[in-house]
Amino acid sequence: METETVTATWADSLAVFDLETTGIDVETSRIVTAHVGVLDSSGRLVERNDWLLDPGVEIPAAATAVHGVTTERARAEGSPAATGIADIVRAIRGLLDRGIPLVAYNAPYDLTILNREAVRHGVPPLLSPAPIIDPLVIDKAVDRYRRGKRTLEVTAAFYGVSLDDAHDAGADAAAAGRVAQALARVHAVALDVDAAELHRRQVDWSREQAENFQAYMRANRDPAFTTSGDWPERG
């Protein structure tokens, strides 16, 4: 794959964020593990923070099968949910205050769960966090017609990014950041804007992608199908 010569400078230093949780519903799922770190321009992880939380509920077997954390381990080794969530929010807020863009692959999942968990536990949530870099949204925008899945594992492989321990929050977060940096190299001309402008573009891209997917689903599978294009958090 060819690399364009212009460099998108927003990718020089990136914060990275990922959660592993009890489920897929952003309104009810609880945080089990989390990672917040920083990549330098070479993709090296130069700062990292990792959390294991006791979510206060049973971790379903299906979720444990994904990330490997059992209810028993979370209760024995995890921080109280409110304490951990406050720490995660504080870490992200601090990085955004430093002007470092935050990468989250499929950002509305992780950021919405973090918002709901903060509200649930009386922690002041992030308010309109920005700038956010979502490699899923960006990849769909700059390479719209590529066939196949767009999971983190598949997309990382496409861009030559190693992901040896998928569904570990730290491994997934770092891989997402490196995919963002690969996008900045491969699609440098299209993405040669500052982080604030890229954030604004992703708001529009996400809405358009959701509208197109909804139209496809209604035409081909379910006439009543609806989906949200809210980004980077669900309303």
Which of 22, 19, 16, 23 is closest to 74 using CA atoms? 22
Contact between residue 100 and residue 132 where contact means Cβ atoms under 8 Å apart: no
Residue 7, beta-bridge partner list: none
Which of 91, 109, 110 is closest to 100 using CA atoms? 91
Please give the pLDDT value at position 5: 53
Please give the pLDDT value at position 164: 86
Block mean pLDDT (10 aa), the chain, length 235: 69 97 98 98 97 98 97 98 98 98 98 98 97 98 97 97 91 98 96 97 98 98 97 96
pLDDT tens per residue across span 147-205: 999 999 999 999 999 998 888 999 999 999 999 999 999 999 999 999 999 999 999 99
DSSP string for 46-96? EEEEEEEEE-SSPPPHHHHHHH---HHHHHHHPEEHHHHHHHHHHHHHHHH
Please give the pLDDT value at position 3: 61
Please give the pLDDT value at position 166: 83
Alpha-carbon distance of 15 to 34, in angstroms, equals 13
What residues does each domain of the chain span? 9-220
Please give the pLDDT value at position 150: 97
CA dihedral sign of residues 114, 115, 118, 124: positive
CATH architecture type of domain 9-220? 2-Layer Sandwich (3.30)
Please give the pLDDT value at position 167: 85
